[in-house]
Amino acid sequence: MASSPDVIVIGAGVLGLCTAAELAARGHAVTVIDPGGPNASSIAAGMIAPALESVLDYWASGGNTDRSSLFRTARDLWPEFAEWLGISLHREGAEWRGQNPHNVHGCLRGFGFDAQPAGPGVVTADDWRIEPGPALTAMARAPGVAVIKGKVTRLTGDARRWRVEAGDGRVWFTPTVVLATGAAAAVAGLPAPLAELVDRIIPIKGQLTSVATATPPRTIRTDAVYVAPAEGGVVIGATMEPGRRDLEPDPIEAERQVAAGLALLDLTGEAGQTRVGIRGATADGLALAGPSGEPGLHLALAPRRNGWLMGPLVARVVADGIEGRPPMADAAALDPLRFA
């Protein structure tokens, strides 16, 4: 039998590692279990984009959804979180070059975000960026966090403790588990209502391509494509294919995206690797964060397009739930029991 940490986090994506780092900073001994390898978090563009994501969600809902306050709260947790962990936070802003720049300008202003007309587009200083790979590494190395390689194949518990079993037979016991398994199917042994909730998470396949070229000063976005600065050039993405969880890149789509992205920059470049990730999403597009309704079992799942933006907020909500603190105001929007 392996050691018995205070908290076991299953899954080392941005939600699992942000939560682990937050809990460790609060004095808990945290073990994260993950098989390793790429995940949605590691292949993401790393945009921390409360402003333009608020506009896109507003449009997608036909003008019925205002997420600006929630997204701004999440973004505003990043400076302290990044500084503490030594994560570089690029506050270079982002530019909208898609349809309806006047409408985007008006929406941004209406939501209280910065918005400046710039040529054919609109620039906002309120959208930032991190580099996913180094950020994940920094979180995994946070003092008090231990990351163990393994795939959890069974999770069973009673009111006292959870039994966490890995595929290779290792077993851990802990009073508190955080399920942060991304878009994966429910782990065997979960109580039926929770297994159903996890299995209702919608997988959304997405791909982006690295391109060696001159690095632009900030992210440029349109309705169809975005170009984000990255080491050695840019990443150009990203597709959204609900219902798909295969990891096969689509070379024709990659070529189309790269051509559209480079045209935005008015540059040439050499396309490199196309990577695929599977986002998990709920019916309302917001994460499941907080107590699951089962004693000692907490969720940090399904942030759809905004896992990096929402990471520190999800972590805080989950850690408050574990410690039995009163939930912060934004926790209600993420309450896993809202779908019960």
Ligand X SMILES: Cc1cc2nc3c(=O)[nH]c(=O)nc-3n(C[C@H](O)[C@H](O)[C@H](O)COP(=O)(O)OP(=O)(O)OC[C@H]3O[C@@H](n4cnc5c(N)ncnc54)[C@H](O)[C@@H]3O)c2cc1C
Applying CB under 6 A, the residues found at the interface with ligand X are: 10-16, 33-35, 39-41, 43-47, 151-152, 180-182, 184, 187, 206-208, 237-238, 277, 279-280, 301, 303-309
For ligand X, the closer CB: 213 or 239:
239
Nearest distance from residue 231's CB to ligand X, in Å? 15
* Other beta carbons within 10 Å of 234: 30
- 271 upstream amide cis, omega within 30 of 0: no
37: left (phi over 0), alpha (psi -120 to 50) or beta: left
For ligand X, the closer CB: 117 or 217:
217
For ligand X, the closer CB: 249 or 326:
249
CA dihedral 151, 157, 161, 162 (to 10 degrees): 0
For ligand X, the closer CB: 52 or 331:
52
For ligand X, the closer CB: 30 or 301:
301
For ligand X, the closer CB: 238 or 331:
238
Measure the CA angle with vertex 297, ends 294 and 303; round to 5°: 110
CA 147 centroid distance within chain: 19
Residue type, 241: E
Of 193, 181, 240, 131, nearest to 8 (Cα)?
181
For ligand X, the closer CB: 97 or 304:
304
Nearest distance from residue 39's CB to ligand X, in Å? 3
Could you tell me the strand order of the sheet in which 288-291 lies? Answer: 145-149, 30-34, 7-10, 176-179, 297-301, 288-291
Nearest distance from residue 130's CB to ligand X, in Å? 9
Q: Give the residue nearest to ligand X (CB).
A: 13
Tokens 């790393």 belong to: 46
Nearest distance from residue 102's CB to ligand X, in Å? 25
For ligand X, the closer CB: 30 or 117:
30
Nearest distance from residue 165's CB to ligand X, in Å? 10
Of 304, 272, 266, nearest to 285 (Cα)?
304
In the chain, DSSP assigns E strands to: 7-10, 30-34, 47-48, 94-96, 116-118, 121-124, 128-129, 145-149, 152-157, 162-166, 171-174, 176-179, 202-212, 219-221, 226-230, 233-237, 241-242, 270-281, 288-291, 297-301
Q: How far apart are CA 6 and CA 23, in angstroms?
A: 10
